[in-house]
Structure 1
Amino acid sequence: MSLLDPRAPLRRLYRYGFRYRPQMRWAIFCSIMNKLCDLAPEILIGAAVDVVVRRDQSFLASLGLPDPVLQVGLLGVLTLLVWGGESLFQYLYQLAWRRLAQTMQHELRLDAFAHVQKLDMGFFEDRSTGSLVSILNDDINQLERFLDNGANQILQITTGCLGVGIVFFLLQPTIALLSMLPMPVIIIGSIWFQGRAEPLYAEVREKAGLISARLANSLTGIATIKSYTAEVRESEALGADSQNYRAANGEAIKLSSAFIPVVRMAVLSGFMVTLVYGGWLTLEDKLAVGAYSVLIFLSQRLLWPLTEMGATVDLYQRAMASTRRVLDLLDTQAPADDHGTPLALADVKGDVRFDAVSFAYAGRERVLEAVSAHIPAGTVAAFIGTTGSGKSTLAKLLMRFYEPSQGQVLLDGQPISSLRIRDLRRAISFVSQDVFLFDGTVGENIAYGAVGRAGWPTQGDIERAARLAEAHEFILGLPQGYDTLVGERGQKLSGGQRQRLSLARAILKDAPILVLDEATSAVDNETEAAIQRSLETIAVGRTTLVIAHRLTTIRHADQVFTVEDGRIVEVKGKAEWHGSAEA
């Protein structure tokens, strides 16, 4: 793909980084100035040779400085300034590029992560967590490495070629033309290499993502692996993925390794032209000795750095493959959460209605078919049915994790599709059967329910929520109480303890709507009873949707909807439900 193509990763990266133009320009300026100072000593050496050989007939003498001693003195001062300038600009460009790399890495990772959090749930069904982690971490780090070193190297090589080329043409146009004959070979070779390397490095990044996915999946399921004594199998599977990565990387390395010797031979031919033809011109008194010295020295500065192009282009291609993956992720269409009608939490009454709602997950048959249900504000509604009947999908539609294929969901008479997503979700406390706890303390996990509210909750607020969830007693029995670390995903706690913390978190959120999605399906009788007692208190004054398959869980429901094969087949009011349950 051509760099001029708007889809080219470098152009896309430049568009993304447009806000960093001042930093980019300063870094570029410092790199160019460093290279120009780096080239100047060779010119000064040639001038010194010219002074020693020609004395009062030297080039400097023609500028009005006939005394050779003064000429040498001037060259000494200029050398000091040039070396000082080179050192200064090297410090400045390293500082500028590294700051830019760190800033862009930081901002790009935050932008990508923020964007990922906005994507709908369907996106995550098609991608592994490990692959996304690989993009957000490894790929962005690869881009940082390029900005740290590669960008400066490309600029310095380009500046060196242009600067030396100008000096060559000023001193001896014929030698300039002959010595630059290898340049088209090097440029064409670089373009060819880029075309061949791009798909190879894209595959390398894909294979790296698969390894990350494998590791994340295995470490998350370590208990299952151990219980089935599948450690050897998992190691073999990782070995196969790692071997695929190794093979893909080997093909890319083979190509980049072949590039360097080709460039080296092209460089050698250019240097030989300067050495032999320039030497003949000097012997024939057609070229000054000082000028010949400058050409010899500069030919190396022009051509030998090109031997590093293989490594530089290799770094560039790896970075561009990573950039493509990151920017493709950023370009993934996300629902617009800033659009829609604002919803003030204080104005939410909690009247929920499903109006002829149908839904199908991508590539699957419909799981809901023309479902209609009305849950008045402040009441408790239960949805019961067999596994896979579609009852949990109703909760996901209410949270707008997905959008209905047909029909609509309304809150207080307004279609939720017209509301601002974050306002809608702030109005709902959600407790899932798949409890997720963060790797922090018990108190921090409960306090997470207050995210988005003004001010951080006090210890009293946290303990009140824990008491309502009947979690306070067991928390006090933990080694450090509320400061006890729960471990990744709460693995240091039992399933019932995790569920009670999840309920406490939802209680602390204090939203007008509470959704319990199979919240007691995987807990013991004691925990279920505790959650039931909690519900009698926290359901008062708020709309509560209970999705369950245990009848004991829904005994306090004002109405019960029975869901079968994606349809509501029966609706019972409180009196009717209690009468049939007792019978």
Structure 2
Amino acid sequence: MNALSRLFAYARDYRRDALLASVYSVANKFFDILPEVLIGVAVDVVVNKQASFLARFGIKDTFDQLVWLGVLTVLIWGGESLFQFLYEVKWRNLAQSLQHRLRLDAYRHVQQLPLGYFENKSTGNLMSILNDDINQMERFLNGGANSILQVTSSSVLVSIVFFVLAPQLAWLALAPVPVILFGTFWFQQKLAPRYAAVRESAGVINGRLNNNLLGLATIKAFTAEEFEAEHIREASERYRTTNARAIRLAAAITPVIRMAILAGFVTTLVYGGWLTTHGELGVGSYSVLVYLTQRLLWPFTGLAEIADLYQRSMASIDRVLNVLNVPIAIAYEGERLVEAPRGALAFERVNFGYGGTPTLHDIDLAVPAGQTVAFVGSTGSGKSTLIKLLLRFYHADSGVIRLDGRDITTLHLSDLRRAIGYVSQDVFLTDGSVADNIAYGQPNAPRAAVEAAARAAEAHEFITRLPQGYDTPIGERGQKLSGGQRQRLALARAILKDPAILVLDEATSAVDNETEAAIQRSLAHVSAGRTTLVIAHRLSTIRHAHTIHVLEQGRVVESGTHESLLTAGGVYAGLWRLQTGELDAAELTAM
């Protein structure tokens, strides 16, 4: 199925609007052609007077005939103007409505795709699809669709006039039309892959720019401005070169069409004139045909621009609809949680790998409701992967994860995630106020509850010192706040949610000692009686956990309390001595 057919299938709810817009476009072109016919009638009136075409309708006086021509002209121009207004309003509103719906549908769909989809996808390229490509479709509906309809309808209407007035001339004058259409479609086929490459190149540039703008501080710190500018230059050069290939082909369309138009016009001018001088064609009819030949054929020069716009739009539409067609691997539907869960978790022989690379092996452990359980281990040992499986960002390759005895894959995904408060090391904050970010996901939360959550996270004090307190805008991704302040807002957000399970994924690894101490005090209060999962590199932060699980290469190698693991003298004890500086020289050398 080609891109246009896919778009029609997607936009079935807008078919009535598209039909009305098409009717208005065709009606406008009908009235647009009639003035040329009136010119021929006027010439006929002046030349033949009482024997003119209008005289057949009982209007014998020449002046009366001219008055009637004036009235008809006003009506025709009025009709043309009315339908132009109607089709422009209809097509533009249709473009805006479809653009709005397509962007929202695509974005909602992207949000529901598993994280694995994004591992090999450029964020900038996705932004290009959700923004630039959808805008290309809007531009096509704003003007291109109407142009195609009007060229087609004018061809049909003018052809009818030709065959009525001079059938012997019509075949010769209209002979270039099939050639023009064939050439246009041939060029379109050649343009399609070139514009697909152009859109891909545009996505690469967006990806580069997005990545660099987010990492501008690092670029400056390493004086890598010229290095990154060269990367942008290379990406932009690829875009320019790819576009140039398409431009060269698109630019060739108009000259080819112009030559075909010239052949048709000259045929009408010369052969039609010969027929008129020999009395086989009336002067008025000759005038009509000369004007209509230009009116018929000249708009075909616009086919170059239309074909260019069409192929750009179809390449973009394909990219957007391809995203919409990506299957949602993790379904949201499932059993609803009628009551708040207790928070008991069980991982039963869970195995998982990224792209075929094993990450977790036979994870078998239980987390009683209301207890604090910590996961420690070296980078890449699988700690964060466990949390991602619990949140169903990914599906386990085998095994089962249970919440209060129920397989989490059978639960409604929204209910599962509402039961979990997640605080990660990489805090996501919106470009809103402090209060907006604490109440994120719960926009109707009362201000008193927001402030109570901030107090529990020990964030209230610094918030009140901000220029507008809880109403202070914090900038994109919270850039106006320090790392510790952002972390406390994230914790307050999780506290306001009041989840059955609280997950802290290295939430204190990037904060100072004072902030860490404040967060620890908050957690001691918040985690009481609540199932809490903590992933930590700083072992001092999880000393009081009910159970600590040590992971190495995707396996649980040790489990116990802080004291029991130290007594065992295994991996955990070695990590503790390393962090507290108790390793002797021989142990450091061995490591």
Which interval holds the TM-score relative to the shorter structure? over 0.9
Question: What is the aligned partner in structure 2 of residue 369 from structure 1?
Answer: 361
Q: Is the 8 A contact 2:360 2:554 kept in 1?
A: yes
Matched, 1:145 2:139: yes
Does the 8 A contact of 1:449 with 1:506 survive in 2? no
Alignment of 1:231-310 (within 5 A): 231-310=225-304
5+ residue gaps, structure 2? 578-591
Q: Distance in 2 between matches of 1:402 and 1:528?
A: 30
Name which of 379, 387, 409 aligns with 1:417.
Answer: 409
Q: What do the CA deviations read for 1:264-301 (whole angstroms, capped 9, x no partner)?
A: 01001001111100000000000011111110110011
Is residue 568 of structure 1 aligned with residue 556 of structure 2? yes
After superposition, residues 141-220 of structure 1 pair within 5 angstroms as 141-220=135-214
User: Which of residues 454, 473, 477 is equivalent to 1:489?
Assistant: 477
- Which whole-Å CA distance do the structure 2 matches of 1:136 and 1:47 have between them? 53
Runs (4 or more) in structure 1 with deviation over 4 Å come to: 577-583
| Distance in 1 separating the partners of 2:548 and 2:526 | 19
Give, in whole Å, the separation in 1 of the partners of 2:546 and 2:402: 20
Instruction: Report how far residue 131 of structure 1 moved.
Output: 0.8
Tell me by how many angstroms 1:192 deviates: 0.8
8 Å CA contact retained: 2:113, 2:330:
no
> Are residues 1:352 and 2:340 paired?
no
**C-alpha root-mean-square deviation of aligned residues, in Å?**
1.6
Is it true that 1:472 corresponds to 2:460 in the alignment?
A: yes
For 1:192, give the aligned amino acid. W
The equivalent position to 2:67 in structure 1, one of 40, 53, 73, is: 73
Matched, 1:533 2:521: yes
Greater shift in the superposed pair: 99-108 or 329-338 = 329-338
SS of the residue 1:356 aligns to? strand
1:446 correspondence with 2:413? no
Residue of structure 2 equivalent to 1:97: 91
Confirm or deny that 1:426 pairs with 2:418.
yes
Pairwise CA distance, 1:231: 0.5
Match status 1:378 vs 2:378:
no
Deviation (angstroms), 1:134:
0.8
**Aligned residue in 2 for 1:134:** 128
> 1:334, CA displacement in angstroms?
1.3
Query: Which residue, out of 493, 506, 510, partners 1:505?
Result: 493
Correspondence for 2:45: 51
What secondary structure does 2:200 align onto?
helix
Separation (CA, whole Å) in 1 of partners of 2:200 and 2:471? 41
After superposition, give the CA deviation of every residue in 1:371-413 in whole Å (9 maximum; x if it has no partner). 0111111111111111110011000000000000111211111
Segments of structure 1 that go 5 or more residues without pairing to the other structure are 1-5
8 Å contact 1:146–1:315 — kept in the other structure?
Answer: yes
Is the contact made by 2:40 and 2:288 (CA closer than 8 Å) also made in structure 1? Answer: yes
Q: Secondary structure at the match of 1:196?
A: helix
Distance 2:485 2:68 in 1: 82
> 2 CA distance for matches of 1:348 and 1:15?
43
Are 2:114 and 2:330, in contact at CA under 8 Å, matched by a contact in 1?
no
Q: Distance in 1 between matches of 2:250 and 2:37?
A: 33
Following TM superposition, by how much is the alpha carbon of 1:15 offset from its aligned partner in structure 2, in angstroms? 0.8
Deviation at 1:27, TM superposition (A): 0.8
| Equivalence for 1:437 | 429
Whichever residue aligns with residue 29 of structure 2, its letter is K
Q: Which moved more, 1:482-491 or 1:412-421?
A: 482-491
Q: CA deviation at 1:61?
A: 2.3
The letter for the 1-side match of 2:152 is: T
Deviation at 1:150, TM superposition (A): 0.8
Whole-Å separation in 2 of the counterparts to 1:153 and 1:83: 19
Residues in 1 aligned to 2:396 and 2:58: alpha-carbon distance in whole angstroms: 86
Q: Distance in 2 between matches of 1:523 and 1:479?
A: 23
Does the 8 Å contact 1:449/1:508 carry over to 2?
Answer: no
1:458 maps to what in 2? 446
Does 2:392 correspond to 1:403? no
Give secondary structure in 1 for the equivalent of 2:71.
helix
2:270 and 2:60 map into 1 onto residues whose CA distance is: 32
Instruction: State whether structure 2 residue 321 is matched by structure 1 residue 333.
Output: no
Shift of 1:73: 2.1
- Kindly indicate whether the alpha-carbon contact (under 8 Å) linking 2:424 and 2:506 is maintained by their aligned counterparts in 1: yes
Shift of 1:64: 3.8
Tell me the percent identity: 56
- The 2-side partners of 1:415 and 1:70 are apart by 89
The answer to whether the 8 A contact 1:443-1:462 is kept is yes
Q: 2:584: which partner in 1? A: none
TM-score (norm 2): 0.94
Distance 2:324 2:372 in 1: 41
Give the superposition deviation at 1:575. 7.2
Q: TM-score, normalised by structure 1?
A: 0.95
**Does 1:314 pair with 2:302?**
no
Residue identity in the other structure for 2:431: D
CA apart distance, 1:335: 3.5
Distance 1:352 1:60 in 2: 92
* Match in the other structure for 1:3: none
Which residue of 1 is the match for residue 547 of structure 2?
A: 559
How many residues of Structure 1 are paired with residues of Structure 2 in the alignment? 571
Paired with 1:313 and 1:62, the residues of 2 have a C-alpha distance of: 45
The AA in structure 2 aligned to 1:71 is: Q
CA distance in 1, matches of 2:394, 2:330: 13
More moved, 432-441 vs 118-127 = 432-441
